[in-house]
């Protein structure tokens, strides 16, 4: 059965100064299908989306929409044709109401005045199509991220879009919110709207997508029917080679007699009475829902945020960190989950970023030594095989995976005794993910204490030797036996039930 | 092959040289001086150069402060007020019979107190720097008016020669005031570029959250910068007292905007994380050269603000336009490319 093609892309090439982001690629989207786009970072997915969404024109090649050739010059034109684009970073006016955001730039009016009754009515009607449980009079800033995303989708749908591009829509959603988003996607599909869905998460692709197209290094690899394949097929196409084990082997040398870290009755703003130990040689995983308090436990432990009570022992010595500097001087560090906001100095050089936690090591007295700074950056660029054009370039020029490796290098340079990594592989590609997992394992083997927070259950189970689950600010359980480590058991603990 | 390489590196060096903001500003200064000199040959005489140097010095101290505050990602609007307050305070104490050096010390302490107040309000309380220093601008100016009851205090006969020498003396024909300013600027430049303490100002200005997550004591950095800025303003106030022999509450009215302009013309980013003292130095020199040129060309003083504003807008626009395409090497390279085409 041959279905009608909504969007066809033929031989599109995009040349940026210095790089060819897309090389002669093709893609076709059927009417009413959910089509996934996969590929490592830098594979060209975003460039292609931006071309379809009218953010910039292709250097070469043609786009057809409903059989007609199109060349949208800006997002407004793309919208008129029927292409909606929901970006990963939402772009709403937070101080205005939902309705005003949906109808921004085309508010219904009577004469010169805004026709508010009609505005509310129209907006509520659009929202009701997705079963939204908030009114169109709500201020956007009062909504959760997933609700704001719904507003963005409603905005596109109210413009009668026929193709909706969702760029990593689930990256900041909880599992429950993700399920809700999927319902919305399914109802859009019912209305014969096509969805282009970008995601790094395999289970999501298998949950809602009909077909998947894979890109690699700016080239189109293949398109597959999702029901006929499994995750390995996609990964193989993405990396272009067979992946051996997805995760490094577990530890064989956990020394239960050496406590690198011990935490007793730690309490803070949103968590209470947290106690646990970290043994030499192991990777300790922290699982739980987003917002359960995992990151907050760790930032309080390191003195980044205030704790209200509790004691922390490092290598058997009680420590009271007055601030984060104290903790870092004792070799305890925390790698943030929010790379862009809390991790990187985007406009500064790679070497300045890597030295930022450790200026003493690159100084003599109070004077910075450029030579030492370069040596430090070079050392970790080499050791972590970070792909850089030069350590003088701004860190914003690197891909997500390489930025994350720079941050790891920054913390390794303090010679940590305990390193806490929070969502260490969020939004980075499969290859870099594997390297980071291997690195964490090497560190643990060398005797560095490793704690990893992750919302990706396969990652938590694959990498950790032991998993502690957090539920609404307290520890709801611990899983150390391999056969008990199942997604089901972790999810039960994470939602507050017993195993 | 090696020749070819030598050529390309040479060209890169040239490109790098022209990509520096300082180079652009310096060339604009030279062009401005050349044009004025042709029209008005008296422009480059010794007494005029000295008067430019003097006015560069006092406002230059404020500009260095603004440069630091802007790199930090903040702003300091109270520098002019603090200069007036400390100038008046020092004069007031001298008239009351206090030794001039003791009076200076009291003023410096007052400056430190103002900086501490600003810094604490901004870091610990978390108020926006614009609001805190806007309030302090009026507070400090108010103190100056209260102490003087609105009219300038004359100090003739009260200030010892040793003190006045700092502001009006000359060494080898160079005004002492200018020497002091240059020394402070050079020291500030070296510290800002080379010391690890000052590097933290760039980190905080570039991304405050990331600085916090890099174990940098953000509050301490902020307080340190605001105290430094206030102390620089105090120095400017005290030296102005020595220069004019009068303690006037109207000192440095509007100087904060001149100082911001100088820093921004010199390449300091308004959003933090980028900037240099050398650029700021040239920025204030450019503004003062143009002011002096207007006087020498018999343009009405009422044009000064207008021209200063125009220079600022022009500099920032050119910067924006030329740096949108990062591959290109600043204003001069852009112009050269245009000419070549």
Mark yes or no for CB contact B196/A367 under 8 Å: yes
Mark yes or no for CB contact A344/B215 under 8 Å: no
Higher pLDDT, B99 or A486: B99
> Is A192's pLDDT higher than 70?
yes
pLDDT for the residue B16: 66
pLDDT for the residue B19: 67
Computed over every residue of chain B, the mean pLDDT equals 87
pLDDT for the residue B61: 96
pLDDT for the residue B325: 47
The string of DSSP letters for B91-107 reads HHHHHTT--HHHHHHHH
The string of DSSP letters for A67-134 reads TEEE---SHHHHHHHTEEEE-SS----TTSBHHHHHTTT---EETTEE-HHHHHHHHHHHHHTTT--S
Q: How many CB atoms are located within 10 Å of the residue B124 CB?
A: 11
> Is B330's pLDDT higher than 80?
no
> Is B158's pLDDT higher than 90?
no
CB-nearest to B210 from A344, A360, A362 is A344
> Is A217's pLDDT higher than 90?
no
- The one-character DSSP state at A498 is -
B215 contacts in chain A (CB < 8 Å): 323-325, 327-328, 333, 357
CB-nearest to A348 from B197, B206, B209 is B206
Q: What is the mean pLDDT of residues B243-252?
A: 92
With beta carbons less than 8 A apart as the criterion, state whether B285 and B29 touch.
yes
Here the tokens at position A203 are: 């289970």
Helices B277-296 and B21-39: crossing angle in degrees, nearest 10, is: 10
pLDDT for the residue A2: 53
Mark yes or no for CB contact B206/A323 under 8 Å: no
Please tell me if residue B217 touches chain A, with a CB cutoff of 8 Å: yes
Please tell me if residue B271 touches chain A, with a CB cutoff of 8 Å: no
* Longest CA span, chain A: 79
pLDDT for the residue B335: 54
B329 pLDDT tier (thresholds 50, 70, 90): very low
CATH number of B22-340: 1.10.3470
Nearest to A285 by CA among A250, A318, A315: A250
Q: What is the ipTM of this complex?
A: 0.80
For chain A, positions 301-320, list CB contacts with chain B under 8 A. 304
Here the tokens at position B168 are: 């009006």
Q: What is the mean pLDDT of residues A50-57?
A: 89
Higher pLDDT, A403 or B7: A403
> Is A89's pLDDT higher than 80?
no
Mark yes or no for CB contact A342/B217 under 8 Å: no
Mark yes or no for CB contact A324/B215 under 8 Å: yes
> Is B155's pLDDT higher than 60?
yes
Higher pLDDT, B341 or A499: A499
Higher pLDDT, B24 or B234: B234
> Is B341's pLDDT higher than 60?
no
Work out the percent of chain A whose per-residue pLDDT is above 90: 36
Q: What is the mean pLDDT of residues A402-413?
A: 93
Please tell me if residue B327 touches chain A, with a CB cutoff of 8 Å: yes
B212 contacts in chain A (CB < 8 Å): 304, 324, 342
> Is A327's pLDDT higher than 70?
yes
Q: How many CB atoms are located within 10 Å of the residue B245 CB?
A: 16
How far apart, in whole angstroms, are the C-alpha atoms of residue A45 and residue A38? Answer: 7
A356 contacts in chain B (CB < 8 Å): 203, 210-211, 214, 216
Q: Which stretches of A317-442 are assigned E, i.e. beta strand?
A: 317-319, 332-335, 363-364, 367-368, 418-422
Alpha-carbon torsion angle A365, A369, A374, A377, nearest 10: 20
Q: Which residue has the tokens 């690629």?
A: A25
Q: In chain A, count H helices and then E strands.
A: 16, 24
Q: What is the mean pLDDT of residues A364-376?
A: 92
Please tell me if residue B221 touches chain A, with a CB cutoff of 8 Å: no
pLDDT for the residue A199: 82
A352 contacts in chain B (CB < 8 Å): 199, 202-203
A368 contacts in chain B (CB < 8 Å): 194-196, 199
Work out the percent of chain A whose per-residue pLDDT is above 70: 97
> Is B8's pLDDT higher than 50?
no
Mark yes or no for CB contact A356/B210 under 8 Å: yes
B195 contacts in chain A (CB < 8 Å): 366-368
With beta carbons less than 8 A apart as the criterion, state whether A305 and A313 touch.
no
How far apart, in whole angstroms, are the C-alpha atoms of residue A227 and residue A205? Answer: 10
pLDDT for the residue A241: 59
Q: Which residue has the tokens 């402060």?
A: B65
A301 contacts in chain B (CB < 8 Å): none
Q: How many CB atoms are located within 10 Å of the residue B262 CB?
A: 31
Q: What is the mean pLDDT of residues A379-386?
A: 91
CB-nearest to A347 from B206, B211, B213 is B206
pLDDT for the residue B11: 63
Strand partners, A194: A163
Strand partners, B293: none
pLDDT for the residue A135: 87
pLDDT for the residue A275: 93
> Is B67's pLDDT higher than 90?
yes
Helix (H/G/I), strand (E/B), else coil: A6 = strand
Mark yes or no for CB contact B196/A343 under 8 Å: no
Please tell me if residue B209 touches chain A, with a CB cutoff of 8 Å: yes
CB-nearest to B210 from A328, A343, A366 is A343
Contacts of B83 (CB under 8 A, 6+ apart): B58, B62, B233, B234, B236, B237, B240, B251, B252, B255
Query: A227-235 contacts: CB < 8 A, separation 24 or more?
Result: A231/A202, A231/A206, A234/A38, A234/A202, A234/A205, A235/A202, A235/A430
- B156: distance to nearest CA of chain A, Å? 44
How far apart, in whole angstroms, are the C-alpha atoms of residue B190 and residue A366? Answer: 12
With beta carbons less than 8 A apart as the criterion, state whether A149 and A88 touch.
no
With beta carbons less than 8 A apart as the criterion, state whether B294 and B98 touch.
no
B274 contacts in chain A (CB < 8 Å): 347
> Is A91's pLDDT higher than 70?
yes
Domain ranges of chain B: 22-340
Higher pLDDT, A379 or A289: A379
> Could you give all domains of chain A from N- to C-terminal order, each with its CATH number?
5-239 (3.40.50.300), 245-331+416-499 (3.40.50.300), 347-413 (no CATH)
How far apart, in whole angstroms, are the C-alpha atoms of residue A165 and residue A49? Answer: 7
Mark yes or no for CB contact B215/A357 under 8 Å: yes
CA distances from B158 to B106, B154, B165, B248 (A): 17, 9, 14, 15
A104 pLDDT tier (thresholds 50, 70, 90): confident
For chain B, positions 163-202, list CB contacts with chain A under 8 A. 194-197, 199-200, 202
pLDDT for the residue B7: 43
Q: What is the mean pLDDT of residues B18-28?
A: 81
Q: How far is CA A182 from the centre of its chain?
A: 18
Mark yes or no for CB contact A359/B211 under 8 Å: no
A342 contacts in chain B (CB < 8 Å): 207, 209-210, 212-213
Helix (H/G/I), strand (E/B), else coil: A432 = helix
Q: What is the mean pLDDT of residues A204-221?
A: 89
Q: Where are the alpha helices (DSSP H) in chain B?
A: 2-19, 21-39, 46-71, 79-95, 100-120, 129-148, 161-168, 176-194, 196-206, 208-212, 218-244, 255-265, 277-296, 304-324, 330-340
For chain B, positions 18-57, list CB contacts with chain A under 8 A. none
Nearest to A35 by CA among A172, A218, A164: A164
Handedness of CA B262, B266, B270, B274 (dihedral sign): negative
Higher pLDDT, A462 or A242: A462
CB-nearest to A368 from B196, B203, B210 is B196
Q: What is the pTM of this model?
A: 0.79
How far apart, in whole angstroms, are the C-alpha atoms of residue B166 and residue B161? Answer: 9
pLDDT for the residue B6: 40
Mark yes or no for CB contact A342/B210 under 8 Å: yes
| Triad A182, A186, A188: Cα angle to 5° | 115
CB-nearest to A345 from B194, B207, B215 is B207
How far apart, in whole angstroms, are the C-alpha atoms of residue A485 and residue B155? Answer: 84
Q: How far is CA B239 from the centre of its chain?
A: 15
Here the tokens at position B142 are: 């108010």
Q: What is the mean pLDDT of residues A122-148?
A: 85
For chain A, positions 382-411, list CB contacts with chain B under 8 A. 410
* Among the ranges given (A299-303, A378-382, B24-28, B139-143), the one the predictor scored with the smallest mean pLDDT: B24-28
Mark yes or no for CB contact B217/A348 under 8 Å: no
Torsion-angle region of A423 (φ positive above 0: left; ψ -120 to 50: alpha; else: beta): left
With beta carbons less than 8 A apart as the criterion, state whether B284 and B262 touch.
yes
pLDDT for the residue B1: 33
pLDDT for the residue A295: 92
- HEC profile for B110-178? HHHHHHHHHHHHHHHHCCCHHHHHHHHHHHHHHHHHHHHCCCCEECCCCCCHHHHHHHHCEECCEEHHH
A304 contacts in chain B (CB < 8 Å): 212-213
Q: How far is CA B119 from the centre of its chain?
A: 19
Q: What is the mean pLDDT of residues A83-93?
A: 84
CB-nearest to A345 from B194, B206, B212 is B206
CA distances from A443 to A279, A317, A376, A415 (A): 13, 22, 18, 11
Here the tokens at position B191 are: 């510290």
| Triad A68, A70, A74: Cα angle to 5° | 155
Q: Phi first, then psi: give them for residue A229, nearest 5 degrees.
A: -130, 175
> Is B340's pLDDT higher than 70?
no
> Is A331's pLDDT higher than 60?
yes
Mark yes or no for CB contact A368/B194 under 8 Å: yes
pLDDT for the residue A1: 42
Here the tokens at position A83 are: 């292409």
pLDDT for the residue B13: 66
How far apart, in whole angstroms, are the C-alpha atoms of residue A42 and residue A464? Answer: 29
Q: Which stretches of A100-243 are assigned E, i.e. beta strand?
A: 109-110, 113-114, 163-167, 194-198, 211-216, 219-225
* Among the ranges given (A48-62, A78-92, A466-480), the one the predictor scored with the smallest mean pLDDT: A78-92
- A371: distance to nearest CA of chain B, Å? 12
Q: Phi first, then psi: give them for residue B335, nearest 5 degrees.
A: -65, -45
A347 contacts in chain B (CB < 8 Å): 206, 273-274
Here the tokens at position B56 are: 């560069």
How far apart, in whole angstroms, are the C-alpha atoms of residue A407 and residue A335? Answer: 7
With beta carbons less than 8 A apart as the criterion, state whether B194 and B173 touch.
no
Computed over every residue of chain A, the mean pLDDT equals 87
Nearest CA in chain A to B326: A17
Please tell me if residue A93 touches chain B, with a CB cutoff of 8 Å: no
Q: What is the mean pLDDT of residues B44-48?
A: 89
A333 contacts in chain B (CB < 8 Å): 215
Please tell me if residue B72 touches chain A, with a CB cutoff of 8 Å: no
How far apart, in whole angstroms, are the C-alpha atoms of residue A136 and residue A108? Answer: 14
């Amino acid at each position: 059965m041959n279905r009608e093609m909504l969007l066809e892309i033929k031989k599109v090439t995009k040349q940026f100064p210095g790089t060819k982001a897309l090389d002669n690629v093709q893609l076709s989207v059927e009417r009413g299908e959910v089509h996934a786009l996969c590929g490592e970072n830098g594979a060209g997915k975003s460039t292609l989306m931006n071309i379809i969404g009218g953010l910039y024109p292709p250097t070469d090649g043609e786009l057809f929409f409903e059989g007609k050739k199109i060349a949208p010059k800006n997002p407004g034109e793309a919208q008129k044709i029927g292409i909606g684009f929901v970006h990963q970073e939402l772009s709403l006016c937070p101080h205005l109401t939902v309705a005003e955001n949906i109808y921004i730039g085309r508010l219904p009016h009577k004469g010169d005045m805004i026709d508010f009754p009609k505005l509310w009515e129209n907006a509520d009607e659009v929202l009701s199509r997705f079963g939204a449980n908030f009114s169109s009079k709500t201020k956007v800033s009062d909504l959760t991220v997933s609700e704001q995303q719904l507003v963005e989708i409603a905005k596109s749908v109210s413009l009668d879009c026929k193709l909706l591009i969702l760029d990593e829509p689930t990256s900041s959603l909880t599992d429950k919110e993700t399920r809700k988003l999927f319902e919305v996607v399914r109802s859009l599909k019912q209305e014969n709207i096509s969805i282009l869905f970008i995601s790094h998460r395999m289970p999501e692709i298998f949950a809602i997508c009909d077909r998947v197209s894979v890109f690699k290094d700016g080239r189109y690899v293949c398109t597959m029917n999702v029901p006929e394949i499994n995750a390995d097929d996609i990964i193989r196409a993405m990396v272009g080679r067979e992946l051996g084990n997805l995760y490094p082997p577990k530890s064989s040398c956990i020394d239960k007699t050496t406590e690198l870290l011990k935490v007793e009755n730690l309490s803070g703003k949103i968590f209470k009475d947290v106690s646990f130990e970290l043994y030499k040689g192991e990777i300790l995983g922290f699982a739980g829902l987003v917002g359960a308090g995992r990151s907050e436990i760790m930032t309080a432990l390191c003195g980044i945020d205030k704790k209200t009570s509790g004691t922390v022992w490092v290598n058997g010595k009680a420590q009271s960190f007055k601030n984060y500097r104290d903790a870092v001087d004792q070799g305890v560090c925390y790698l943030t989950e929010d790379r862009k906001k809390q991790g990187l100095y985007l406009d500064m050089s790679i070497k300045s970023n890597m030295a930022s936690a450790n200026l003493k090591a690159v100084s003599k007295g109070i004077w910075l030594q450029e030579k030492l700074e370069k040596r430090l950056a070079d050392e970790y660029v080499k050791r972590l095989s970070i792909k850089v054009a030069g350590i003088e370039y701004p860190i914003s020029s690197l891909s997500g995976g390489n930025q994350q490796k720079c941050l790891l290098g920054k913390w390794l340079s303090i010679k940590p005794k305990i390193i806490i990594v929070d969502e260490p592989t969020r939004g980075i590609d499969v290859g870099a993910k594997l390297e980071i997992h291997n690195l964490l394992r090497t560190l643990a083997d060398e005797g560095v204490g490793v704690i990893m927070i992750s919302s990706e259950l396969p990652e938590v189970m694959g990498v950790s030797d032991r998993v502690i689950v957090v539920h609404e600010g307290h520890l709801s359980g611990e899983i150390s036996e391999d056969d008990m480590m199942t997604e089901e058991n972790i999810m039960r603990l994470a939602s507050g039930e017993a195993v | 092959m090696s020749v070819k390489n030598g050529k390309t590196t040479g060209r890169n060096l040239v490109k790098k040289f022209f990509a520096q903001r300082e180079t652009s500003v310096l060339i604009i200064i030279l062009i401005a001086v050349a044009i004025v000199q042709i029209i008005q040959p008296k422009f480059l005489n010794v007494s005029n150069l000295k008067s430019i140097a003097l006015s560069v010095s006092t406002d230059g101290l404020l500009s260095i402060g603004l440069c630091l505050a802007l790199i930090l990602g903040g702003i300091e609007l109270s520098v002019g007020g603090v200069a007036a307050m400390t100038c008046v305070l020092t004069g007031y104490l001298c008239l009351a019979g206090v030794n001039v050096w003791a009076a200076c010390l009291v003023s410096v302490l007052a400056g430190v107190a103002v900086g501490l107040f600003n810094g604490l309000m901004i870091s610990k309380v978390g108020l926006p720097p614009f609001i805190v220093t806007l309030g302090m601008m009026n507070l400090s100016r108010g103190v100056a008016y209260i102490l003087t009851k609105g009219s300038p205090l004359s100090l003739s006969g009260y200030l010892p020669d040793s003190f006045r020498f700092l502001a009006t003396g000359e060494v080898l024909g160079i005004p002492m005031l200018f020497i002091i300013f240059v020394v402070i600027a050079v020291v500030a430049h070296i510290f800002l570029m080379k010391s690890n303490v000052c590097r933290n100002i760039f980190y905080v200005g570039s991304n405050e959250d990331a600085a916090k997550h890099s174990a940098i004591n953000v509050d301490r950095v902020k307080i340190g910068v605001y105290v430094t800025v206030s102390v620089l303003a105090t120095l400017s106030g005290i030296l102005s007292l020595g220069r004019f022999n009068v303690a006037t509450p109207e000192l440095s009215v509007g100087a904060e905007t001149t100082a911001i302009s100088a820093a921004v013309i010199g390449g300091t980013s308004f959003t933090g994380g980028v900037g240099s003292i050398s650029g700021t130095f040239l920025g204030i020199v450019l503004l003062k050269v143009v002011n002096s040129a207007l006087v020498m060309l018999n343009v009405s003083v009422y044009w000064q603000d207008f021209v200063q504003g125009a220079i600022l807008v022009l500099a920032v626009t050119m910067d924006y336009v030329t740096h949108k395409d990062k591959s290109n090497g600043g204003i001069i390279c852009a112009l050269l490319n245009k000419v070549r085409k």
